[in-house]
Chain A
Amino acid sequence: MEKVITAKNLTKKFGSFIAVDNINFEVEKGEIFGFLGANGAGKTTAMRMLCGLLLPTSGQATVAGFDVYKQNEQIKKNIGYMSQKFSMYEDLTISENIRFYGGIYGLSNDRIKEKTAQLIKQLHLEGQEKTLVKALPLGWKQKLAFSIAIVHEPAIVFLDEPTGGVDPITRREFWGLIYEASARGITIFVTTHYMDEAEYCNRVSIMVDGRIDALDTPANLMKDYSADSMDEVFLHLARKAVRTGD
């Protein structure tokens, strides 16, 4: 299989604090890769290095075949990103947000129109094109943000806790969207706190205090730790954590 993300001894220090500590992993094309860890484990930091938002302190990493140190520009063209903070403009309407993000990725006007119609239909937002994003419930915002993050059909999309704070039904719908995107060949790199979501992933890595302590398919992990659920696996590993997050 083609490797779309590789990390070798990837490390990020903030001063003397090691936020990400020598992590190694590979993500295959089309995979849904879950990136788990307790608060403060270093998930966001690792993801930011892969997206080119942070320069690693040491180690290597490639994204879509490009080097994170030198080929930032090429990486940017091939990825989508949904940040942990909410990433749409609240004072813009739904269609304005789509047009903006489509536009900055260089989509043609026709393509943007087409995409807008398609997204509105897919998300059942008919008639709400002119609604300001701030008027939408959180669950809709997140689904919309995800759809916008992949509006340019990137090779890989990075999702940083995309489903924080919403109910299980909306989360399930969200994962429906993720599966659809995955089926189209988009590689998904997703962080989450919810262990039921971990079970939706092809493979998961579990970060503890900046290190990756486990990495496998959910089924194998459960077997290895003789656990009945990912929750148990996670608790088993996270118990060792010293960091309490921030």
Chain B
Amino acid sequence: MKQFLIFVKKEWLHIWRDRRTLFILIWMPIVQIILYGFALTNEVKNSNIAIFDQSQDQASTTISKEIAASRYFNLVKNVHSDQDIGATFRQGKIRMAVVFPVNFRYDLLHSNHAQIQLIADASDPNTANTLTNYASSIINDYQQSLNQNEQLPYTIKTQVRMLYNPELKGAYSFVPGVMALVLMLVCTMMTSIAIVKEKEMGTMEVILVSPLKPFRIIIAKAVPYLFVSLLNIVSILLLSVYVLDVPIVGSIWLLMTESTLFTITSLSLGILISNSAKTQQTAMFIAMMSLFLPTLLFSGFMFPIENMPLPMQIISNVVPSKWFYIIIKDIMIKGLGFTSVWKETLILVGMTMTLLGISIYKFKIRLA
């Protein structure tokens, strides 16, 4: 145990002395998150909108006026056809369109309910969400004012349509995605480089001649990066809550536990890579090719897996980050508990055990 701790300490000294790398490791996720955060937090004041009023009755004009008068919205156009709406969106003139159906007031008064459609440009999902929420609440206010003097309540249903990005992928999917990428980078790439570096320097030979158990060498190399990763997770989560307004709906402890699990998966991958790589460049290259790209492609945070051809969908199943991404999204954004993610967790545990097993088994005690 003491030998193990001495090794961990030495490993930590390497990281500590290489301040530049440490600096990058700690700041990279922060910068990524902040950059994205700034790209997202557009002012939601005076957003340009269009109104397509097919009814032109007293109710629809009242609501239109209130929406136009709100400080959140700026009515730039009254459109007169569905095609016109599409064209105006494509020209980038508006962020939202409000559509009243024909006979809006008639339906409302005679059948007691009517519909308004809100169409938003969801390429910026945060803004789209906010805008439709504001509009809905204005409509809601109108509905309540109607109902004050009536016994039978009127209901106006708002139907929201998100254009371009119907699943509202954005910060909500970006945060889990960045977490997966950063953990891969720190754990997989850095550990494989750290091990291969010792081979390159020739110090590995000396360590292998010492009575240290290979298993302990591997674990000791990985431990400091585990800590750096945990630090990264914490900073990403803090930023996503306080800068991006992406709340952690589910249990934070479950989130941390699952992240630690994924960290260990990534570490074992790194160790595995270090077995076959002879130079630091090779290690980096393999890490890039075998992890970075698959993580981007197959984790589902950039490109929806459902839309991929079947062979690709099958391949995506062996990419650990895919499962991690699902887990994090479920816990963080949907607020689901362990009972909902146990299957994915089990898959990750299985992958980790297999990878760790193979990498320890294959870690060369001898040089050849």
Contacts and interface: CB of A to CB of B under 8 A. Distances in A.
Interface of A: 14, 48, 51-55, 72-73, 76-77, 79, 81-92, 96, 99-101, 103-106, 132, 149
A171 B201 CA distance: 23
B208 interface: yes
B13 A92 contact: yes
B68 to A, nearest CB: 66
A52 B210 CA distance: 10
B202 A83 contact: yes
A100 B209 contact: no
B196 to A, nearest CB: 14
A54 B209 contact: no
Given A54-B366, A79-B209, A83-B202, 8 more contacts: A53-B209, A55-B368, A76-B209, A86-B202, A96-B13, A105-B211, A132-B17, A149-B206
B82 interface: no
Given A48-B367, A53-B366, A100-B10, A86 B201 contact: yes
A223 B68 CA distance: 111
A53 B205 contact: yes
A76 B7 CA distance: 17
Nearest to A90: B201
A104 B205 contact: no
Q: What are the 3 tightest A-B residue pairs by CB atom distance, in nearest-first order?
A: A85-B202, A103-B6, A81-B209
Interface in B205-230: 205-212
A103 to B, nearest CB: 3
Contacts of A101: 206, 210
Contacts of A106: 2-3, 211
Contact of B203 (A14, A77, A89): A89
B45 interface: no
Contacts of B306: none
B211 A89 contact: no
Interface in B1-34: 2-3, 6-7, 10, 13-14, 17-18
Contact of B210 (A55, A76, A90, A92): A76
Contacts of B17: 91-92, 132
A101 B3 CA distance: 10
Contacts of B202: 83-87
B211 A14 contact: no
Contacts of B203: 87-89
Interface in B328-368: 365-368
A82 B201 CA distance: 13
Given A53-B366, A91-B14, A104 B209 contact: no
Contacts of B205: 48, 53, 81, 83, 85, 87
Interface residues of B, number: 24
Contact of B206 (A87, A99, A132): A87
Q: Is the interface of B mostly helix, strand, loop or mixed?
A: helix
B190 to A, nearest CB: 15
8 contacts: A48-B367, A81-B205, A91-B14, A91-B18, A92-B10, A96-B13, A104-B210, A106-B211
B72 to A, nearest CB: 56
B3 to A, nearest CB: 5
A85 B201 CA distance: 7
A103 B220 CA distance: 14
Contacts of B10: 89, 92, 96, 100
Contacts of A86: 201-202
Contacts of A87: 202-203, 205-206
Contacts of B210: 76, 101, 104-105
A121 B318 CA distance: 57
B308 to A, nearest CB: 43
Contact of B212 (A52, A104, A132): A104
Interface in B165-223: 201-203, 205-212
A53 B367 contact: yes
A133 to B, nearest CB: 11
Given A81-B206, A89-B203, A92-B13, A100 B6 contact: yes
A87 B207 CA distance: 9
Contacts of A89: 10, 14, 201, 203
A58 B269 CA distance: 35
Contacts of A104: 3, 6-7, 207, 210-212
A90 B7 CA distance: 16
A96 B365 CA distance: 25
Nearest to A86: B202
Contacts of A53: 205, 208-209, 366-367
B208 A99 contact: no
Given A81-B209, A85-B202, A52 B3 contact: no
Contact of A103 (B3, B14, B18, B365): B3
B365 to A, nearest CB: 8
Nearest to A77: B211
A101 B207 CA distance: 9
Contacts of A84: 202
A101 B211 CA distance: 11
A73 B211 CA distance: 7
A149 B210 CA distance: 10
Nearest to B199: A85
B368 A14 contact: yes
A85 B206 CA distance: 10
A132 B201 CA distance: 16
A72 B6 CA distance: 23
